[in-house]
Amino acid sequence: MRTNRVTLLLVVVLATSTIAGAQAGKAPAGQTLNATSLSATADVLLNDPALWGQVSAHRISLNRTPPLYDTDEPASLEIPVLEVRVARAGGKVLVQMSWADPTHDSAALPEVPNTPPETRFRKLPTEADDRFFDAAAVMFPTKPGAVTPSLQMGDTDDPVQIYYWNAARGPMLMEAAGRGTTRRTGASFAAHAANEKGRWTVAIELPDLPAGTPLAFAIWNGSQKDRDGRKYFSVWQVLQ
């Protein structure tokens, strides 16, 4: 059991150095994501894919986290690129993420009735225990003007906000202050998602973030059993 802890630690150290390597590597670590200012309201922009045509796309390369746990097999890089568009509208920052994913891992989960289960003859079933859903997230530091936090869900001194969207469960606002500390806040946010011809397009509404805010992106591919730190991630980008 001790060996296992050591292995895990080693993997984490390796992962960290890979990420550090990527940041210090030849290509610039992240890109500057220029936000296009639009006159439409945030609400309209969020729900109208046509309006996004006016916003230029940034192609951001994705990495896979190294295998983290003994229980799961390694996964390959099937989604190398994420297209990101950023706009400012109605005092909000809006981000549209778009990526090719031939496997559409989603489901319409039944709505839980608000009557107590003991008063109902029929309870909702668990339809499947082994499926994972596609998801996407944007992460940024909680404190404005903070130094760039660790890519691994921030640090104790530099917590992060995670705007997480799940194909079956919808948007959930999360926060974290280091690896393994991510938690749902219970709050939600506005989001719009579409899946067409093997491509996801997910637009989400962020608060009014100042220029210079670091943004990092993550994608989960359900059919690759992605969840938790088993995912695709980008290095930090900078909002302008």
Partner 1 sequence: MSKHQYAMVMDLNKCLGCQTCTIACKKLWTDRDGTGYMYWNNVETRPGMGYPRQWDRIGGGWKNGQLQPSPLPTMDDYGHAWEFNYEQRLYEGKKKPVMPSPTPTSGVNWDEDVGGMNGEENYYFYLPRICNHCTYPACLEACPRKAIYKRDEDGIVVLDQERCQGYRYCIKACPYKKIYYNEVTGKSEKCIFCYPRLEKGEVNACAAQCPGRLRFVGLLDDPESPVHKLVLVHRAALPLFPEKGTQPNVFYVPPFNPPKRGSYDKSILEDPRLPLDYLIYLFGPEVRDVITRLEAELKSAQRGGRSELLQLLIGRDAETRYRIKPELVQIKL
The residues binding partner 1 (CB under 8 A) are 1-4, 7, 68-73, 109-110, 112, 117-118, 123-130, 169, 180, 182, 227-229
Least CB distance from residue 8 to partner 1, whole Å?
9
In whole angstroms, what is the distance from residue 171 CA to residue 176 CA?
Answer: 16
Q: DSSP characters for 153-165? A: T--SSS-EEEEEE
Count CB neighbours of 206 within 10 A: 20
Least CB distance from residue 24 to partner 1, whole Å?
27
**Which CB sits closer to partner 1, 148 or 166?**
166
Least CB distance from residue 234 to partner 1, whole Å?
21
Least CB distance from residue 238 to partner 1, whole Å?
29
Radius of gyration of the chain (CA): 19
Closest CA to 136 of 92, 108, 172: 172
Question: Could you tell me the two tokens for 195?
Answer: 């899946």
**Which CB sits closer to partner 1, 130 or 196?**
130
3-15 burial, b if ≥16 CB within 10 A, otherwise e?
eeeeeeeebeeeb
**Which CB sits closer to partner 1, 59 or 169?**
169
Cα–Cα distances in angstroms (integers) from residue 204 to residues 45, 136, 140, 171, 193, in the given order: 10, 10, 14, 9, 9
Least CB distance from residue 90 to partner 1, whole Å?
32
**Which CB sits closer to partner 1, 170 or 207?**
170
**Which CB sits closer to partner 1, 11 or 57?**
11
- Rounded to 5 degrees, what are φ and ψ at 73? -75, 155
Kindly tell me the burial class for residue 147, based on how many C-beta atoms sit within 10 Å of its own C-beta (0-12, 13-18, 19 or more).
exposed
**Which CB sits closer to partner 1, 145 or 180?**
180
Least CB distance from residue 4 to partner 1, whole Å?
6
